[in-house]
């Protein structure tokens, strides 16, 4: 608990939403001083800060959703020299006991800071990591749409007349798209056939546009990662997408990660203790950022196939009786341990340049 708070100091807790934010103030003893609802804009931020300051000096704040709805408020409070902590949603057992409402969540956020439960420092969104995160989001949606487009095109070809299917169906997507674009419309009185050929060409054009978008995003991602994080990119198995994913998770202020164990927890590659009685064991961590977990898995797969040191490690652990999945989990933890100082070094150099 915050025993070092003075009588005129207080803690702010905020439950964030798209249109409104709900704040709660607790004093140095943990007692609720009041709650207030404001709009999620600059005037609302000013109103919330002035209201909170009327109870005393706001030293710390706990905010839900610092990376989404609460991102702007987080930046605003940090500019006011308030130490902001990221607060997780209350667990289900607590909500069953205390109920659920915006003021209750705001009070819970403030008390998490007061009790010392909330210790996570929010990521900043003003550097290369944020730029790569934005590119990754756009690329992910473009790739998904591209896959959906070729699947729709193939589904139409499956039920198309045999002559058309034989001419247009190709195993490789780009060859199938090229065949649809080159196919000349036959003169026919069939409305169904003319519509089919028209839609096939339309889907083929859409696929090409999406491919161009993905290629452009890949080129930009490759350029940024090579330019700003050369050491990370030099590691075996770390490509532009993997590097962008790991940097997005670390954030532009990776000093908030106290150790490589913190990054391992964020990536969900740290084994969790699951011992009971005489049974001593660890279980798989199903939490963390699953995209980052997949990125680490990709690095592990590349090294298991091509790196002599990793291949000898796999042979040794296999002889000890471990399965391929268990070996991969061990490798992922070692990979995070290796990449953590590399990420810190690259990002620290970026800060020195800027």
Q: Which long-range contacts (CB under 8 A, 24 or more apart) does 23-26 make?
A: 23/48, 23/51, 23/52, 23/106, 24/103, 24/106, 24/107, 24/109, 24/110, 25/52, 25/55, 25/58, 25/110, 26/107, 26/110, 26/111, 26/114
pLDDT band at 149 (very low <50, low <70, confident <90, very high): very high
Q: What is the mean pLDDT of the chain?
A: 89
The three-state DSSP-derived secondary structure of 301-326 is HHHHHHCHHHHHHHHHHHHCCCCHHH
What does the pLDDT look like over 223-239, one tens digit per residue? 999 999 999 999 999 99
Q: At 93, is the pLDDT very low, low, confident or very high (cuts 50, 70, 90)? A: low
Enter the tokens of residue 295.
């990125």
Could you give the angle at the alpha carbon of 264 between the alpha carbons of 259 and 270, nearest 5°?
120
Question: Which residues, at least 6 apart from 349, have a Cβ–Cβ distance to it below 8 Å?
Answer: none
Q: How confident is the model at residue 271 (pLDDT cuts 50, 70, 90)?
A: confident
Which whole number is the average pLDDT over 10-24?
A: 94
pLDDT of res. 188: 67
pTM of the model: 0.83
pLDDT band at residue 118 under the 50/70/90 scheme: confident
pLDDT tens track for 183-210: 876 666 778 888 999 999 999 999 999 9
Residue 186: CB atoms within 10 A of its CB come to 11
- The answer to whether residue 4 scores a pLDDT higher than 80 is no
**What is d(CA 225, CA 205) in angstroms, rounded to the nearest whole number?**
30
Answer whether residue 23 shows pLDDT above 60: yes
Kindly give the pairing relationship between strand 32-39 and strand 20-26: antiparallel
Confidence band, pLDDT 50/70/90 cuts, at residue 69: very high
How large is the average pLDDT for residues 233-250? 94
pLDDT recorded at residue 351: 64
81 falls in which pLDDT band (50, 70, 90)? Answer: very high
């Amino acid at each position: 608990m915050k025993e070092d708070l003075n009588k005129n100091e207080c803690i702010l807790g905020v439950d964030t939403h798209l249109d409104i934010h709900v704040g709660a103030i607790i004093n140095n003893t943990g007692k609720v001083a009041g709650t207030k609802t404001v709009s999620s804009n600059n005037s609302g931020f000013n109103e919330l800060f002035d209201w909170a300051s009327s109870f005393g000096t706001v030293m710390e704040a706990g905010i839900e959703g610092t990376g989404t709805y609460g991102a702007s408020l987080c930046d605003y409070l940090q500019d006011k020299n308030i130490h902001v902590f990221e607060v997780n949603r209350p667990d289900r057992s607590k909500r069953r006991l205390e109920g659920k409402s915006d003021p209750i969540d705001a009070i819970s956020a403030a008390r998490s800071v007061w009790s010392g439960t909330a210790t996570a420092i929010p990521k900043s969104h003003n550097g290369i990591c944020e730029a790569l995160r934005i590119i990754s989001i756009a690329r992910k949606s473009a790739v998904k749409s591209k896959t959906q487009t070729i699947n729709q095109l193939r589904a139409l070809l499956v039920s198309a007349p045999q002559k058309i299917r034989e001419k247009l169906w190709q195993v490789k997507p780009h060859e199938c798209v090229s065949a649809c674009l080159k196919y000349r419309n036959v003169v026919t009185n069939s409305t169904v056939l003319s519509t089919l050929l028209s839609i096939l060409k339309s889907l083929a054009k859409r696929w090409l546009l999406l491919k161009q978008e993905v290629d452009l995003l890949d080129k930009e991602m490759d350029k940024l990662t090579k330019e700003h994080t050369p050491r990370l990119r030099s590691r075996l198995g770390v490509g532009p997408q993997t590097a962008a994913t790991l940097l997005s998770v670390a954030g532009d202020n990776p000093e908030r990660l106290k150790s490589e164990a913190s990054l391992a927890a964020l990536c969900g590659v740290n084994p969790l203790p699951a011992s009971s009685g005489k049974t001593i064991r660890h279980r798989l961590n199903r939490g963390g950022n699953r995209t980052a977990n997949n990125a680490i898995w990709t690095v592990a797969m590349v090294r298991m196939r091509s790196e002599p040191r990793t291949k000898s490690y796999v042979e040794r652990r296999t002889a000890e009786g471990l399965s391929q999945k268990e070996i991969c989990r061990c490798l992922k933890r070692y990979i995070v341990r290796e990449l953590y100082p590399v990420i810190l070094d690259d990002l620290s150099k970026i800060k020195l340049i800027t």
